Amino acid sequence: MLYTTSIIEQRARKKWADRNIYCVSNQSDKPKYYILDMFPYPSGEGLHVGHPLGYIATDILARYKRHKGFNVLHPMGFDAFGLPAEQYAIETGQHPAITTEKNISYYKKQLENLGFSYDWSREVNTAYPSYYKWTQWCFMQLFNHYYDDHLQKAMPIAQLIKTFEKSGDKNFSAEEWASFSEKEQSAILMQYRLAFIDYTEVNWCEALGTVLANDEVINGRSERGGHLVTKKKMRQWSLRITKYAERLLQNLNSVDWSDSLKEQQRNWIGKSEGAEVEFELAENPGELPPIKIFTTRPDTIFGATFMVLSPEHEMVHSITSPEQKETIDAYIDYCKSRSDIERQSEKK
């Protein structure tokens, strides 16, 4: 007999859909097993080979676990917010909601043709208010909390305000706190909030009018459109994740992972213990602030022969000699067009 895929697989998929065989209940006596795939961005081009490459592997595992008696939750969704949708809308004059829905429909059809065992009743779409209202809720929780170093956990910012009102802080008294303006108090609290505003280096694309992630920059230009990208300091929302470094490191001991994977995580967390040291400038001492460096080996500090400033360091222009100004300016401009990954790989 010939295996006619167009008939047999289409018939099987219809039977699976009619019976909702991959729809799972929250109430079950079976042991739980959760398999989460990376949600694709629904571009107009449809799936590329990298999507099913990963999805096939997780689908094999999902089917195996079902046969082993597990209640398997295997959802799918779409990371539907993105710069490409905005740019496509600008170029074609179509509302991004329309093109995104069209692309999602195309993606779903492709995924269904591949026969993946997704519970589509759990579909997630990051562009829906029903989804992003929770990301907004999470942000507000972070904004309204600070990290208590003594308790080693997040606590309401309102509690910190009460402490300031009652006993002040190491830098100010309760009376001084009461005398501060609302703007001054807000600036102080911003130094504690888990979600805070700070000036950080970003990849700025003037043509697209937006900040780009490192993987969206190729050879100093935007992946989409090939526009020039430069490094720029801008006010950005940041998360104070470094406060959780110690807890992350300690909790790795209770995770059933391989030693090599745990070591990768420790390197990613990147906790370092050392000392900050200030070096006075030999020329014009006192006129310029000292250069502050961090070292994990303060015992070797007396063997230091030179130090290197990053091109973004605020003191570069102050200490550059007139003879080297043109060369330094050219190098700074060059670095502004390189991503962090490119600059690290060049090893200059």
- Interatomic CA distance for residues 141 and 151, integer angstroms: 18
Q: Which phi and psi angles does 291 have, rounded to 5°?
A: -90, 120
CB 216 within 8 A of CB 224: yes
Domain C-terminal end among 241, 275, 292: 241
Q: What does each C-alpha distance from 289 to 49, 84, 214, 283, 319 come to in angstroms?
A: 54, 44, 32, 12, 11
Q: Is the residue at 162 inside a domain?
A: yes
Q: How far apart are CA 170 and CA 177, in angstroms?
A: 12
83 and 35 fall within a common domain: yes
Q: Looking at the structure, do residues 116 and 150 belong to the same domain, yes or no? A: no
Look at residue 348 and tell me if it is in a domain.
no
Q: Is residue 286 part of a domain?
A: yes
Q: What backbone torsions phi and psi does residue 145 show, to the nearest 5 degrees?
A: -130, 155
The residues of the chain scoring below 70 in pLDDT are 284-286, 339-340, 346-348
Task: Tell me the pTM.
Answer: 0.75
Specify the pLDDT at position 66. 96
Same domain flag for 175 and 117: no
**250 and 306 share a domain?**
yes
Residue 130 forms part of a structural domain: no
Judgement on whether residues 250 and 192 belong to the same structural domain of the protein: no
284 and 331 inside one domain: yes
SS3 96: helix
What gap in Å lies between CA 229 and CA 201, rounded to an integer?
A: 12
pLDDT score, position 348: 59
Which pLDDT score, from 0 to 100, does residue 141 have? 98
* Domain that residue 29 falls in: 5-125
Residue 45 placed within a domain: yes
Q: Looking at the domain assignment, is residue 347 inside a domain?
A: no
Q: Do residues 296 and 329 both lie within one domain?
A: yes
Q: Which pLDDT score is estimated for 261?
A: 95
Three-state DSSP class for 150? coil
Same domain, 82 and 95: yes
Domain end (from 184, 209, 241)? 241
330 vs 282: CA distance, rounded Å: 26
AA identity, residue 300: T
> Is 200 part of a structural domain of the chain?
yes
CATH number at residue 71: 3.40.50.620
Same domain membership, residue 232 and residue 181: yes
- Do 156 and 223 reside in the same domain of the chain? yes
Domain boundary, last residue among 75, 97, 125: 125
| Residue (of 196, 172, 176) closest to 186 by Cα position | 196
Residue 99 near residue 139, CB atoms below 8 Å:
no
Token duo for residue 317: 């222009």
- Asked if residue 345 is part of any domain, the answer here is no
CA distance 99 to 89: 8
Evaluate whether 279 touches 291 at the Cβ level (below 8 Å).
yes
Number of domains in the chain: 3
Which parts of the chain fold into alpha helices (H)?
5-19, 50-67, 83-92, 96-113, 129-143, 157-167, 174-179, 182-190, 245-251, 259-269, 316-319, 325-336, 340-346
pLDDT at residue 17, rounded to an integer: 87
Q: Check whether residue 114 and residue 187 sit in a common domain.
A: no
Pair 14, 121 in one domain: yes
Q: Report the helix count and the strand count for the chain, using DSSP H and E.
A: 13, 13
Following CA atoms 111, 112, 114, 115 in sequence, which dihedral angle do they give, to the nearest 10 degrees? 130
